[in-house]
Structure 1
């Protein structure tokens, strides 16, 4: 059975995007934080995206390794992003590329099916998609890279839940710029 991991950069007050989907609060990550995310992504067997995150990622990473100032880590991230199998969940997108499959039906049923398969961990991204998986009790691990900024509103990392989810802390790490990364596993 595959593990489902939900992780993103977020503000200290819990938002992955400020009002109007503004992600400018995060600025460029430190080399150390970017390398941590690269290592995390390289360990993934499958990436699951909601529409907005897919549009953000697919607008840059297919050619991110060809940018004039791309660092070695960015070059490796772009190559890994293209090579990693991806599933996009959307009823409004008509076509996807770059080793990606589109699912327009029941996201939760498909995630349950994918979790039952053998393979490496799956990473899920996008607040709406991850929120649905969270409410269905499908998230096995949460990765929070909290940046020292408060934006006061926007798209929250966590969704409203019907019941408590108890977690075990498995990692804490501080990165340059005051970013604190924490990883939690869901207690079953």
Structure 2
């Protein structure tokens, strides 16, 4: 059986983007970059909500034209080759080896997991909240960066139910970014 892992960068004050939508603050040092490449390698399927998809598909297909950062140069070909799923009610099709799911999201993603697929949900908050509410996310890998944004979009939107989690790993990368890795417990707390 596969699993769904939520992979998200957040500020110390709990935001995934700043007050004006900015996402220029994550620190991708060599250790975090290596870990990210290890996590995203293999036969995983990348999962996005439409807003994050727009950001990713606007950058990664031609990342080498915009950046000479070692992480960007290493991840761009991984991103282009990986199978991807976008959850959207408005998007009908997408390029770059991408499937769009507009309806029955919980059922579709659960079926993918049941087939043995490991899905990596990148960022976002609305899709993560929806999937958390339905118990579809198995693991949360939250990377806390040393910045206070003072506002913006919170990493976790309001949930209707409490979700019990167990810390399975904490780790520091590049002496500045902290990974908090939690797995969902069997029952809601």
Q: TM-score, normalised by structure 1?
A: 0.89
Report the CA distance between 1:42 and its aligned residue: 0.8
Identify which of 121, 124, 142 aligns with 2:121: 124
2:36 is paired with a residue of what secondary structure? helix
Secondary structure (helix, strand or coil) at the match of 1:34 reads helix
Distance 2:50 2:67 in 1: 28
Partner of residue 22, structure 2? 22
Distance (whole Å) between structure 2 residues aligned to residue 58 and residue 35 of structure 1: 22
Q: For residue 42 of structure 1, what is the aligned residue in structure 2?
A: 41
Correspondence for 1:137: 135
Spell out, residue by residue over 1:84-134, the C-alpha distance to the aligned partner (whole angstroms, 9 max, x if none). Answer: 110111122243111101122232222122222123x21113211111101
Q: Where does the alignment leave 5 or more consecutive residues of structure 1 unmatched?
A: none
Structure 2 segments unaligned to the other structure (5+ residues): none
Q: Looking at secondary structure, tell me which structure has more helix per residue.
A: 1
Work out whether 1:91 is the aligned partner of 2:89: yes
How big is the shift at 1:12?
A: 0.9
Aligned to 1:69: 68
For residues 38 and 134 of structure 1, the distance between their equivalents in structure 2, rounded to whole angstroms, comes to 25
Superposition CA RMSD, Å: 1.8
* Cα distance, 1:44 vs structure 2: 5.2
Q: Figure out how many residues of one structure are paired with residues of the other and give that number.
A: 185
